[in-house]
């Protein structure tokens, strides 16, 4: 048996998979970081202005949570795009019969999946906040801006869920119809 037979991936595939794997790991870690700040905000809100990590005393927990939220969006979207491009090459059909290229279909699906995960997470987090301390629904959502309030942000996230889940359903149904032909 030759050594090349045991090689798991070809060099070109390895680079793309390595990038996908690293972005997936970064997304997972950023999601955990954001989740831990959400737990702090829900059950120990007085700790939000304290450092998330003692080694970075200038970085407030709430600020780090916002950064982790956006890091998750970027890394999860990038990882999903890579996964979809790798697993679903070719062309996808839109509901009106027009074709999307493999890259465009992967990008739209990755953005829709990312928006669905993030919006759902926001609704859950803000709903827990509504139970643990309902007075915050009328307070601003971040210390960065006076708008939106937590209640408004929860409604924005719910509307985003409608559109992102609808887009996923539409695109995936079109793909299934195309594959069935």
pLDDT tens string, the chain, 181 residues long: the values are 455 555 555 566 678 888 999 999 999 999 999 999 999 999 999 999 999 999 999 999 999 999 999 999 999 999 999 888 887 654 444 444 455 677 888 898 999 999 999 999 999 999 999 999 998 888 888 888 889 999 999 999 999 999 999 999 988 886 555 555 5
pLDDT at 86: 80
Cα–Cα distance, 151 to 153 (Å, whole number): 5
Positive or negative: CA dihedral 120, 121, 123, 128? positive
Cα–Cα distance, 71 to 75 (Å, whole number): 6
Contacts (Cβ under 8 Å, ≥6 apart) of 126:
137, 150, 151, 153, 154, 157
Q: Give the residue among 80, 65, 73, 63 at the shortest CA–CA distance from 125.
A: 65
The gap between the terminal CA atoms of the chain, to the nearest Å, is: 41
């Amino acid at each position: 048996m030759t050594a090349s037979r045991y090689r798991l991936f070809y060099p070109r595939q390895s680079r793309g998979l390595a990038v996908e794997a690293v972005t997936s790991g970064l997304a997972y870690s950023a999601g955990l970081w954001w989740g831990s700040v959400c737990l702090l905000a829900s059950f120990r809100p007085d700790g939000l202005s304290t450092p998330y990590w003692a080694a970075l005393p200038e970085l407030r927990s709430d600020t780090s949570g916002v950064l982790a939220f956006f890091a998750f969006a970027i890394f999860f979207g990038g990882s999903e795009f890579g996964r979809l491009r790798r697993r679903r090459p070719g062309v996808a059909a839109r509901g009106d019969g027009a074709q999307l290229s493999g890259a465009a279909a992967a990008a739209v699906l990755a953005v829709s999946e990312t928006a669905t995960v993030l919006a759902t997470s926001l609704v859950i987090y803000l709903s827990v906040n509504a139970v643990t301390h309902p007075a915050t629904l009328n307070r601003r959502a971040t210390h960065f801006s006076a708008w939106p309030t937590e209640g408004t942000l929860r409604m924005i996230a719910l509307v985003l869920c409608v559109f992102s889940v609808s887009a996923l359903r539409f695109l995936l149904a079109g793909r299934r119809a195309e594959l069935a032909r």
